[in-house]
Amino acid sequence: MLSKARVLKIEEIFSGCFFLQLEEQRIAGDSLPGQFLHVRVADNTVPFLRRPFSIAGASPRNGTVEIIFRVVGEGTRILSRLQKDEFLDCLGPLGTPFSPGKEFPVSILLAGGAGIAPLLFLAGTLAGKREKILVYYGTPNSGELLTPDKFLPPGVDVFLATEDGSAGFHGLVTDLFERSLKDDPGRAEIFACGPEAMLKTLAKKNRSWGFPMQLSLEERMACGIGACQGCAVQAHRENKTGYLRVCRDGPVFNSQEVVW
C-alpha cells in the first residue's frame, strides 16, 4: 500500500489550486471514489506527518491517479513545487469509499471548494450508469472555480454557485440546491464533500428532505490507516455513539451517522 508514484503532470488550475496526475499502476487499479491518498510531501522530519488528499480520478487502464489540492500551508506549498518525473511517496488508496446504490437513478453530487475532488472521480464512475447525474458546485468566487467540464464526463449537469455572484447562482451551493430541489428522495441520493459548515447545513436540512446522503469528512490525521485513533469524529454506528475514525471508518459517512 506504500508506493512511489511518478509525477506525470502538475498544473495550477487556478491561483493556489493544483491538479496533480501521478503514475502508479497499483493505486490506479485499486482506487475507488471517496478514498484518499496519504502523501509524504518531503523526505524530511519537517513537515513530520503525511497529508491526506481525496482521489480525484484514477484510470486503471493508463495506470494514473489524480488529486486536486489547494495550497493552505507548508505541506501543500511543498507539494505545489513538485516537478514532472519526480516521485511522490503515497500510502493508499485508503478509507471507505462512497457506496452508490444501484436503486437510485439520480445521483446528486454536492461540492464546496476543494470538496469537488472526490466527486469528480465519483461522477466519472457513475457516468452512463445513472439516468441523471447532477453536480452542484459552489466556491467563494469565480476565480476559485475549476472548469468542471474539463474533469467531468459528458452527460453530467453542472450547477454553479459563487458566494459573490461572480459566476452562476449568487449564494451558497446549499441554497442553490434547495431552490432547485425537485428530485424525489426515493429516486435520488446525495454525495457531498466540502467545508464542515456546508456539510452540517446539508445534514440538518436533509432531516426534512430525507435523501439518502453520504458525506466525505476531513479531520487531522496521523497514521491514516486506523491505528492511532487520531482522526476522531463523533458518530453513531451499529447502535453505539462514539468516536469513529475518518481514515478508516470514513472518510465517507452516512449523514445520519455524524453527530455535529
Ligand X SMILES: Cc1cc2nc3c(=O)[nH]c(=O)nc-3n(C[C@H](O)[C@H](O)[C@H](O)COP(=O)(O)OP(=O)(O)OC[C@H]3O[C@@H](n4cnc5c(N)ncnc54)[C@H](O)[C@@H]3O)c2cc1C
Ligand Y SMILES: Cc1cc2nc3c(=O)[nH]c(=O)nc-3n(C[C@H](O)[C@H](O)[C@H](O)COP(=O)(O)O)c2cc1C
Name the DSSP letter for residue 144: G
Site string for a copy of itself, 40-69 (x = CB under 8 A): ----xxx-----------------------
Shortest Cβ 252–ligand X spacing (Å): 9
Question: Which of ligand FES, another protein, ligand X, none lies near 2, with the C-beta cut-off 5 to 8 A by kind?
Answer: another protein
Site string for ligand FES, 162-201 (x = CB under 6 A): ----------------------------------------
138 by DSSP, 3-state: which?
Answer: strand
Which grid cell sits at 198? 456546508
The yes or no reply on residue 234 touching ligand FES (CB under 6 A) is no
The yes or no reply on residue 1 touching ligand FES (CB under 6 A) is no
Specify the stretch interacting with ligand FES by CB under 6 A; choose among 116-124, 131-139, 193-201, 215-223: 215-223
Shortest Cβ 243–ligand FES spacing (Å): 10
Nearer to ligand Y, 58 or 231 (CB): 231
Question: Which of another protein, ligand FES, a copy of itself, none lies near 233, with the C-beta cut-off 5 to 8 A by kind?
Answer: another protein
Cβ pair 112, 138 in contact under 8 A: yes
The yes or no reply on residue 83 touching a copy of itself (CB under 8 A) is no
Name the DSSP letter for residue 83: -
Vertex 218, ends 213 and 221: CA angle to 5°?
A: 140
Vertex 4, ends 195 and 220: CA angle to 5°?
A: 25
Q: How far, in Å, CA of 56 to CA of 114, rounded?
A: 10
Which grid cell sits at 181? 430541489
Altogether, the residues listed in the chain come to a count of 260
Question: Which of ligand FES, ligand X, ligand Y, none lies near 124, with the C-beta cut-off 5 to 8 A by kind?
Answer: none
Nearer to another protein, 39 or 119 (CB): 39
221 by DSSP, 3-state: which?
Answer: coil
How many CB atoms are located within 10 Å of the residue 67 CB?
A: 26
The yes or no reply on residue 228 touching ligand Y (CB under 6 A) is yes
CB-based contacts of 90: which residues, under 8 Å, 6+ apart? Answer: 2, 3, 4, 5, 22, 24, 27, 37, 38, 39, 40
| List of residues contacting a copy of itself (CB under 8 A) | 44-46
Residues binding another protein (CB under 8 A): 1-2, 40, 45-50, 91, 219-234, 242-243, 248
